[in-house]
């Protein structure tokens, strides 16, 4: 980390401890519907040159699409691609962790609710493809189809492989 975020936000507070993740702050803004450089810059506090560099990287990585919306000049909008939008679970997981562990009870900066009913979200819980909700401790990590031979060997040599 080169610096600490000072925003009153569980995501930003998490990032102070989880690493230098300016990218996820840009994802936060674009998930919020913010599309313009100046507004992303204002809401995140990222230095302009760093933000320009980061946005370009995010376009190359396929997280953002840049659209020219200039009528009489160059004006750009940044919008999340499906790949970028698919970071919602990561953002919600980080938000819930930050709320739970970095702020006192009753001091949480944001709340997550069901858009239609206003009911509060519960903590994320994993479930199997058949829909059975299980505990985090019952999530087991195993080699996937693309695991290397050495990864398979590494897994096989472990007694316990908790995610």
- Considering only residues 43 to 102 of the shown chain, the ones binding a second copy according to CB under 8 A are 58, 61, 63, 83, 86-97, 99-101
By CB under 8 A, is residue 42 in contact with a second copy? no
| 92 touches 28 (CB < 8 A) | no
Taking the least distance from each CB to a second copy, the nearer of 49 and 72 is 49
| Kind plus residue range of the DSSP H or E element containing 66 | strand 64-68
Residue 4 interacting with a second copy (CB under 8 A): no
Q: Which stretch binds a second copy (CB under 8 A): 44-52, 66-74, 140-148?
A: 140-148
Using CB atoms within 10 A of its CB, is residue 44 exposed (0-12), middle (13-18) or buried (19+)? buried
Site size with a second copy, rule: CB under 8 A: 81
Residues 10-29 that bind a second copy (CB under 8 A): 15, 17-24
90 vs 25: CA distance, rounded Å = 12
């Amino acid at each position: 980390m080169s610096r600490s975020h000072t925003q009153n936000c569980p995501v930003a507070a998490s990032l102070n401890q989880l690493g230098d993740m300016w990218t996820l702050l840009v994802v936060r803004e674009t998930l919020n519907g913010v599309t313009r450089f100046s507004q992303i810059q204002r809401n995140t506090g990222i230095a302009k040159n760093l933000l320009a560099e980061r946005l370009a990287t995010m376009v190359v990585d396929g997280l953002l699409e840049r659209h020219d919306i200039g009528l009489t000049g160059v004006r750009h909008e940044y919008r999340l691609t499906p790949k970028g939008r698919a970071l919602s679970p990561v953002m919600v997981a980080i938000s819930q962790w930050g709320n739970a562990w970095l702020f006192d009870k009753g001091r949480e900066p944001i709340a997550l609710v069901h858009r239609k009913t206003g009911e509060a979200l519960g903590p994320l819980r994993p479930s199997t493809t058949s829909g059975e909700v299980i505990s985090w401790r019952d999530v087991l990590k195993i080699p996937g189809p693309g695991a290397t031979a050495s990864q398979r060997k590494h897994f096989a040599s472990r007694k316990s492989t908790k995610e």
